[in-house]
Amino acid sequence: MKLGIIGSGFVGATAAYAIMLKGGASEIVLIDKNKERAEAEAADIRHASPFVHHVKVYAGDYSDLKNANMVIITAGISQKPGQSRLELLNQNAAILRDIMDHIIHYAKESLILVATNPVDIMTHIASKYAQDKGLDAKKVIGTGTTLDTARFRTLLGDHLGVDPAHVHGYVIGEHGDSEVLTWSIIDIGGLPLQEFASLRGVEMGQKEQDIIDDQVRHAAYHIIQGKGSTYYGVGGAISRIVDIIEHDHRAFITICAPVEEIVGVKNVTLSLPHLVGGKGVMAQLPFKLSPDETKALKNSAQILKEQIENMG
């Protein structure tokens, strides 16, 4: 599998490294306006390949995207301390359109994974732009709340004392402040959350839920405050998505993609559980939320819809 990663900053380089560690591609080309940075990152990653998997990693130009199976977009202005993801919108939209022109020219058959924030709106722009150019809009997806869901499951697993891989629950909606933690449909080992917690003698009341909600919802802000940016978590999320697509795992993950309508809001892009396989999105998972969660999801969708409409 040949991958192109556009943007060789912390997120792009970390994603490339994580993909190489898992053997998720046979060839990775890093593209960045700072060619020296891309060359340095490619060399550093390539030097680690003898310890794990042989992967051809190199810096290139857009023309090197030819025959790429998948292109990952991480380029954009980084989120600054105190800045919301939605505030990044106008800064990154123009960058994205320019990148899409190059991808369409050199690799129009590839799947496109958007990781640039605000990822929901960037994915919406990329998808509609591809559609306007005559391409299949369904081949454009975003990382969405894949990372938020991982944070949710990790914190729940820590609290309950179980492997997060056996905690099934989702974070949906915006990848940001209005995201929705789906407490009502969580199960652990096939048991509803409260039943499992009761059997294990673990407190799982509103207080505990509020603490976990806050830690998930504001995780990025705490990390950015401490070290300037986040990249390990999203790099891992990108690697996981690539692995699912490369091996056609047909897994349910909370990527973001355009939907015609959700909870009464039309033509918006946000994260929901999707069945993802070798050709990208296969289906959206139907699920039942509590009334409060449904209301919160509608609020999240309306926030994103407003931002999209402001873009015209």
pLDDT tens per residue across span 22-38:
999 999 999 999 999 99
Residues in the chain: 312
| CATH 3.40.50.720 domain span(s) along the chain | 2-142
- Give the span between the Cα atoms of 19 and 91, in whole angstroms: 28
According to DSSP, residue 184 is labeled G
pLDDT of residue 79: 67
pLDDT of residue 154: 96
Which of 3.90.110.10, 3.50.30.30, 3.40.50.300, 3.40.30.10 is the CATH number of 146-310?
3.90.110.10
- Give the span between the Cα atoms of 66 and 298, in whole angstroms: 40
CB atoms inside a 10 Å sphere around CB 80: 11
> Given a cut of 80, is residue 145 above it in pLDDT?
yes
Of 175, 218, 249, 274, which residue is the catalytic one?
Answer: 175
Assign residue 303 a region: left if phi > 0, alpha if psi is -120 to 50, beta otherwise? alpha
* Single pTM value for the model: 0.94
Query: Is there a cis peptide before residue 50, judged by omega within 30 degrees of 0?
Result: no
User: Residue range 9-21: average pLDDT?
Assistant: 97
**Two structure tokens written together for 47:** 């030097």
**Two structure tokens written together for 278:** 């070798």
Pair type for strands 140-142 and 167-168: unpaired
The answer to whether 37 touches 80, Cβ cutoff 8 Å, is no
- Give the span between the Cα atoms of 64 and 243, in whole angstroms: 22
pLDDT-based confidence at 10, cuts 50/70/90?
A: very high
pLDDT of residue 217: 95
| CATH 3.90.110.10 domain span(s) along the chain | 146-310
Least confident of 9-18, 81-90, 139-148, 210-219: 81-90
Fold of the CATH domain 2-142: Rossmann fold (3.40.50)
pLDDT of residue 86: 64
> Given a cut of 90, is residue 81 above it in pLDDT?
no
The answer to whether 103 touches 140, Cβ cutoff 8 Å, is no
pLDDT in tens, 165-218: 999 999 999 999 999 999 999 999 999 999 999 999 999 999 999 999 999 999
| 175 labelled catalytic | yes
Element (H, E) at 124: helix 119-132
The answer to whether 237 touches 143, Cβ cutoff 8 Å, is yes
> Given a cut of 70, is residue 292 above it in pLDDT?
yes
pLDDT over 70, % of the chain: 98
Sign of CA dihedral 63, 65, 66, 71: negative
pLDDT-based confidence at 312, cuts 50/70/90?
A: low
